[in-house]
């Protein structure tokens, strides 16, 4: 069986940023267009985007939390759980998902955003990354 995602190794913050930008930006554009055409297909595609970008986040988390990997894994799983919860919530609550207003439930993404910025800007201390 072919492995689509390699969760071993680490990446630098710059590599994490550029991989996420190069892969995430076109996928996000497709997501927005697809969500306008068919909301359910767009939401399922959003879940697909999260799965792709989680491999980058995991590799960066492995570099930043190399000494405290258990803490890093807990924070990683909490952040992806919150992201996936919100995406699934919007999949079942179509009225709120298509609304332009910010709802209270959107605040659930704040811990994920803080975690992403932390692993993006934190120096890992690793000279040579192998991911």
50-101 tens-digit pLDDT: 888 888 888 888 888 888 888 988 999 999 999 888 888 888 887 766 677 7
What mean pLDDT comes out for the span 40-50? 87
Burial 2-26 (b: 16+ CB within 10 A, else e): eeeeeeeebbbbebbeebbeeeeee
* Angle, helix 39-64 to helix 110-121, in steps of 10 degrees: 40
CA geometry: angle at 18 spanning 73 and 117, to 5°? 45
Q: Which of 19, 28, 18, 20 has its CA nearest to residue 48?
A: 28
Give 131's pLDDT tier (boundaries 50, 70, 90).
Answer: low
**What is the reported pLDDT for 1?**
47
User: What are the angstrom distances between the C-alpha of 54 and each of 33, 60, 91?
Assistant: 22, 10, 20
Burial 101-126 (b: 16+ CB within 10 A, else e): eeeeeeeeeeebeebbeebeeeebee
Give 4's pLDDT tier (boundaries 50, 70, 90).
Answer: low
Token digits of residue 111: 């811990």
């Amino acid at each position: 069986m072919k492995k689509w995602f390699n969760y071993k190794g680490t990446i630098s913050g710059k590599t994490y940023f550029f991989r996420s930008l190069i892969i995430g930006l076109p996928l996000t554009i497709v997501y927005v267009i697809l969500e306008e055409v068919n909301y359910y297909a767009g939401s399922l595609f959003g879940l697909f985007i999260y799965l792709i970008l989680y491999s980058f986040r995991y590799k960066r988390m492995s570099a930043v939390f190399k000494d405290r990997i258990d803490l890093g894994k807990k924070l990683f799983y909490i952040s992806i759980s919150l992201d996936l919860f919100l995406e699934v919530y919007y999949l079942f609550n179509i009225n709120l998902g298509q609304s332009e207003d910010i709802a209270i439930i959107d605040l659930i993404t704040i811990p994920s955003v803080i975690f992403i910025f932390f692993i993006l800007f934190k120096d890992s201390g690793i000279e040579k990354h192998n991911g």
